């Protein structure tokens, strides 16, 4: 196949993308500072090059065909990626830019978001896109620049900066404690022990740390994300071991109580991490300096 067919010119692709987005040659022409006939002609040339119909003409209106919608998904994301890359390059001049940050969902919602306004106040020329991610993944393949995750000695293969040590505390709802007072670890017997799917052995580790053998207690439901576990404990389904940094609001309001004065440091920590070759990117450097100051 002719390579030109597989790599249409940028002018043809921009005319198609704008027309598809607006569903109008006229509005696309206004955006691109061209005439309506010039945009229509460029789309026609692209259709002839691909030998497919990308639009259906209905009077003054245009609609994408099925293949047009499929083509727009690929072309639209590619053009958006090019624009983002260009913005990143331009932003290097002013020390700003875009940061695509992957973060654990509950940590992002409960710890990061309440503080993020202070980052923007100090760095108005940096835009942070926060994406929820659970488990291991490839940053480059996922289109991410950096990640906030949990590990023992950093995150493998990445330049890692410790934010917080994970301190787990035993919590329950006031209603559950009214029904089943907990004055020692032995009072956990027969109660549902709730946990997240990513930490299947957390209760065994905690009981071992307390030098208590597990008798009579049994595991309750598991949850995919920690925010669901927090809600389940707050409604009285069972008891949970939760990171203190994620439940400060519930502890202060009394929606969750700590029946035992025990803290357990799991050996894990929250880290801000990124590929080492991106260490001096302005957006990453700005975010790193900020988050290490507040953590």
Q: Which residue has the higher pLDDT, 91 or 36?
A: 36
At 1 the pLDDT is 60
For 151-180, what is each residue's pLDDT tens digit? Answer: 999 999 999 999 999 999 999 999 999 999
Residues 250 and 130 in one domain: no
Q: Indicate the residue among 53, 74, 91 that finishes a domain.
A: 91
Alpha-carbon gap, residue 56 to 219, rounded angstroms: 58
Residues 58 and 144 in one domain: no
Q: Which residue has the higher pLDDT, 134 or 111?
A: 111
Residues 87 and 12 in one domain: yes
pLDDT range class, residue 211, cuts 50, 70, 90: confident
Residues 80 and 201 in one domain: no
CB environment 19-49: b (16+ within 10 A), e (fewer): bbeeebbeebbebbebeeebbbebbebbbee
Per-residue pLDDT averaged across 8-12, rounded? 93
Residues 159 and 282 in one domain: yes
- Mean pLDDT check: name the lowest of 36-45, 206-215, 244-253, 272-281: 206-215
Q: CATH number for the domain including 255? A: 3.40.190.10
Residues 49 and 102 in one domain: no
> Which tokens is 95 given?
């020390």
At 121 the pLDDT is 96
Picking from 157, 156, 142, the residue whose alpha carbon sits closest to that of residue 103 is: 142
Residues 140 and 286 in one domain: yes
User: What share of the chain has pLDDT > 90, as a percent?
Assistant: 75
Residues 172 and 247 in one domain: yes
Alpha-carbon gap, residue 70 to 52, rounded angstroms: 12
Per-residue pLDDT averaged across 20-36, rounded? 94
How many distinct structural domains can be found in the chain? 3
At 216 the pLDDT is 56
pLDDT range class, residue 215, cuts 50, 70, 90: low
Residues 130 and 171 in one domain: no
Q: Give the distance, in angstroms, between the CA of residue 106 and the centroid of all CA atoms in the same chain.
A: 10
Alpha-carbon gap, residue 205 to 268, rounded angstroms: 13
> Which tokens is 261 given?
């004065």
Residues 206 and 282 in one domain: no
Residues 247 and 185 in one domain: yes
- Helix axis angle for 10-22 and 66-91, nearest 10°, is 110
- The domain of 103 spans 97-165+270-294
> Which tokens is 87 given?
């913005």
Q: Indicate the residue among 91, 118, 136 that finishes a domain.
A: 91
Residues 152 and 170 in one domain: no
For 52-87, what is each residue's pLDDT tens digit? Answer: 999 998 877 899 999 999 999 999 988 988 887 777
For 239-292, what is each residue's pLDDT tens digit? Answer: 999 999 999 999 999 999 999 988 899 999 999 999 999 998 889 999 999 999
Picking from 131, 148, 179, the residue whose alpha carbon sits closest to that of residue 288 is: 148
Average model confidence (pLDDT) for the chain? 91
For 108-121, what is each residue's pLDDT tens digit? Answer: 999 999 999 999 99
Alpha-carbon gap, residue 94 to 111, rounded angstroms: 29
């Amino acid at each position: 196949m002719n390579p030109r067919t597989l790599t249409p010119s940028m002018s043809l692709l921009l005319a198609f993308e704008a027309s598809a987005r607006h569903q109008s040659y006229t509005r696309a022409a206004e955006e691109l500072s061209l005439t309506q006939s010039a945009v229509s002609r460029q789309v026609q040339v692209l259709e002839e090059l691909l030998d497919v119909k990308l639009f259906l003409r209905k009077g003054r209106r245009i609609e994408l065909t099925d293949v047009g919608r499929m083509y727009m998904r690929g072309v639209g994301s590619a053009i958006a990626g090019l624009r983002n890359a260009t913005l990143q390059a331009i932003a290097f001049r002013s020390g700003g830019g875009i940061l695509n940050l992957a973060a654990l969902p509950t940590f992002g919602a409960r710890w990061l978001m309440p503080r993020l306004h202070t980052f923007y106040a100090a760095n108005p020329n940096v835009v942070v896109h926060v994406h929820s991610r659970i488990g291991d993944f490839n940053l480059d393949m996922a289109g991410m620049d950096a990640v906030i995750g949990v590990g023992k000695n950093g995150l493998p293969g990445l330049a890692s900066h410790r934010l917080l040590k994970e301190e787990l505390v035993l919590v329950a709802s006031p209603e559950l404690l009214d029904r089943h007072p907990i004055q020692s670890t032995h009072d956990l017997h027969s109660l549902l022990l709730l946990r997240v799917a990513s930490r299947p052995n957390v209760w065994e580790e905690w009981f071992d740390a307390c030098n208590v053998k597990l008798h009579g207690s049994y595991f309750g439901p598991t949850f995919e994300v920690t925010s669901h576990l927090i809600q389940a404990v707050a409604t009285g389904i069972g008891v949970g071991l939760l990171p203190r940094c994620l439940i400060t609001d519930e502890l202060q309001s009394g929606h969750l109580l700590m029946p035992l004065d025990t803290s357990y440091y799991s050996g894990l920590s929250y880290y801000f991490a990124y590929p080492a070759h991106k260490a001096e990117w302005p957006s990453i450097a700005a975010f790193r300096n900020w988050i290490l100051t507040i953590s």
